[in-house]
Amino acid sequence: MVQRTLSIIKPDAVRKNAVGAIIKCFEDAGLRIAAMKMLHLSNEEAGRFYIVHRERPFYKDLAAFMSEGPIVVLVLEGEDAIARLRKTMGATNPKDAAPGTIRAMFAENIERNAVHGSDSEASAGYEIPFFFPAIEMH
């Protein structure tokens, strides 16, 4: 099934000049870019994006991290795009991420882990329109 999913290249990866390398991983995995932009979230916006985690102990730090610098936000499209992106990203903690995954190559630790990917159709349905109106998707 052709799906769309939301990815973010996080501030740690943008700062280390890894945007191009990470986009190449997406394309090599068979994901097509349907929308893309760079922006710098406020702390409030980052907290709203990750609202599902509001009760978690890492929530405040996560909102601070995600608003510390610019990010690149993408809608990726392809066959089983949600699971395909998650596989290409690797585990949340880079210590557990399979070799060759984006997080194995670019993440610093469990928080500063280079990329985001929607984890379900429900989360993609919240996350894609959070950043992109239909007129910006191609």
Catalytic residue annotation: 116
Nearer to ligand UDP, 78 or 90 (CB): 90
Report the length, in residues, of the chain: 138
62 binds ligand UDP (CB under 6 A): yes
Q: Give rounded-to-5 percent helix, strand, coil for the chain.
A: 45, 20, 35
Residues 6+ apart with CB under 8 A from 93: 109, 110, 113
Q: Rounded to the nearest whole angstrom, what is the least distance from the CB of residue 116 to Mg ion in the complex? A: 7
Look at residue 123 and give its three-state secondary structure.
helix
Nearer to ligand UDP, 47 or 78 (CB): 47
84 binds ligand UDP (CB under 6 A): no
Q: Rounded to the nearest whole angstrom, what is the least distance from the CB of residue 111 to ligand UDP in the complex? A: 3
Q: Residue 17's CB: how many other CB atoms inside 10 A?
A: 8
Binding-residue total with ligand UDP (CB under 6 A) = 9
- Region of 16-24, 75-83, 111-119, 129-137 interacting with ligand UDP (CB under 6 A): 111-119
Binding partner of residue 19 among Mg ion, ligand UDP, none, CB cut-off 5 to 8 Å per kind: none
Residue 116 bridge partners (DSSP): 8
Nearer to ligand UDP, 57 or 133 (CB): 57
Joined together, the tokens standing for residue 34 give 């349907």
Burial class (CB in 10 A: 0-12, 13-18, 19+), 46: buried
Where do contacts with Mg ion occur on this chain (CB under 5 A)?
119
